[in-house]
Structure 1
Amino acid sequence: MRVLKINTLFAFVLVPLLILAYTSVGQIRYFRTPASTLKPDTKLAFMAVSEDSIANDTLFQIRSKEGYPMAYFRKIRTSVCFDNKCRLLKVNLYWTSTGRYLGFDLPKGEFLSKAEHKPFTPAEYERMSDLLADPLSPLATLSYAELAPHVKLPDKGNEVDGVSSATAKNVLEYVVEGAAYTTYKMWHVVYGSTQADVTRLTEKSLSPDFILTILESPDLTDKIWALNHIRGFVPLTPALQNSLLGFISPTDYNLAERAIQAFGAGDLQSNAIQQALFTKFNKSGYALKKLIVGKFKEAPVLDEQVKKTFAESLTSLNSELISNVLDLFRKHKVTDADTCRLVAQLLTNRNELIAQKAFAYLNATPVRDTLIEMQMKAYKLKK
Structure 2
Amino acid sequence: MFYHFIGRLVILVFLFLTHSVVSYGLHWQKQKADENCVFLKHTFTDDSLETFSLLECQAADGPSNWFSSDIHQSVCNSGQCRMISIRLVWDGFGNYHHFELMDREPLTKTDHAEFSADDYNRLHFILSDSLSVFKDLEMEDLVVEKKNDVDGVSGATRKSLHDYVVQDAVYTCFTLWKVVYGKGKKNINNLLKQRVSQGYLANLLHKNDPIADFWVFNILAGNTQYVSSFVDQLIDRVASKDERNSSLALRVITVGSLSSEAVQKKLADQIPEVNDLKRLDIIWKLLECPAVSDEVVLQLLRYYLQGILNPAALSYAYQLVSARHISNPDIYQTIKEILTDKNQYVKNITNSLLLKKK
TM-score bracket for this pair, using the shorter chain length: 0.7 to 0.9
Residues of 2 paired with 1:48 and 1:69: CA distance? 22
Corresponding residue for residue 148 of structure 1: 143
Counterparts of 1:179-258 in structure 2, within 5 Å, are: 179-205=169-195, 206-213=200-207, 215-216=208-209, 223-230=213-220, 232=224, 234=226, 241=232, 245=236, 248-249=239-240, 251-258=241-248
SS in 1 for 2:145: coil
What is the aligned length? 331
How does the TM-score come out when normalised to structure 2?
Answer: 0.75
Residue 46 and residue 302 in structure 1: after superposition, are their counterparts in 2 closer, same or farther (change >3 A)? Answer: farther
Residues of 2 paired with 1:48 and 1:351: CA distance? 68
Counterparts of 1:280-299 in structure 2, within 5 Å, are: 280-299=270-289
Runs of at least 5 residues in structure 1 that lack an aligned partner in the other structure:
1-21, 155-159, 368-383
Residues of 2 paired with 1:120 and 1:193: CA distance? 25
Corresponding residue for residue 99 of structure 2: 104
Residues of 2 paired with 1:100 and 1:152: CA distance? 39
Corresponding residue for residue 129 of structure 1: 124
Residues of 2 paired with 1:345 and 1:362: CA distance? 12
Residues of 2 paired with 1:269 and 1:33: CA distance? 44
8 Å CA contact retained: 2:57, 2:67:
yes
Corresponding residue for residue 336 of structure 1: 327
Corresponding residue for residue 274 of structure 1: 264
Residues of 2 paired with 1:127 and 1:255: CA distance? 28
- Cα RMSD of the aligned pairs, angstroms, is 3.8
Residue 26 and residue 322 in structure 1: after superposition, are their counterparts in 2 closer, same or farther (change >3 A)? Answer: closer
Fraction of identical pairs, as percent: 22
Residues of 2 paired with 1:285 and 1:185: CA distance? 43
Residue 135 and residue 209 in structure 1: after superposition, are their counterparts in 2 closer, same or farther (change >3 A)? Answer: same
The structure where helix makes up a greater share of residues is 2
Counterparts of 1:8-47 in structure 2, within 5 Å, are: 25-30=19-24, 32=26, 37=33, 39=35, 40-47=37-44
Residues of 2 paired with 1:105 and 1:297: CA distance? 50
Corresponding residue for residue 73 of structure 1: 68
- Residue by residue, what CA displacement relative to the aligned partner does 1:250-271 show, whole Å, maximum 9, x if unpaired? x554343233334333443454
Corresponding residue for residue 250 of structure 2: 260
Residue 280 and residue 83 in structure 1: after superposition, are their counterparts in 2 closer, same or farther (change >3 A)? Answer: same
Residue 48 and residue 59 in structure 1: after superposition, are their counterparts in 2 closer, same or farther (change >3 A)? Answer: farther
8 Å CA contact retained: 2:21, 2:103:
yes
Residue 78 and residue 283 in structure 1: after superposition, are their counterparts in 2 closer, same or farther (change >3 A)? Answer: closer
8 Å CA contact retained: 1:268, 1:300:
no
- Residue by residue, what CA displacement relative to the aligned partner does 1:310-336 show, whole Å, maximum 9, x if unpaired? 233344443321221111224x96342
Runs of at least 5 residues in structure 2 that lack an aligned partner in the other structure:
1-14
SS in 1 for 2:303: helix
Residues of 2 paired with 1:321 and 1:305: CA distance? 18
Residue 276 and residue 198 in structure 1: after superposition, are their counterparts in 2 closer, same or farther (change >3 A)? Answer: same
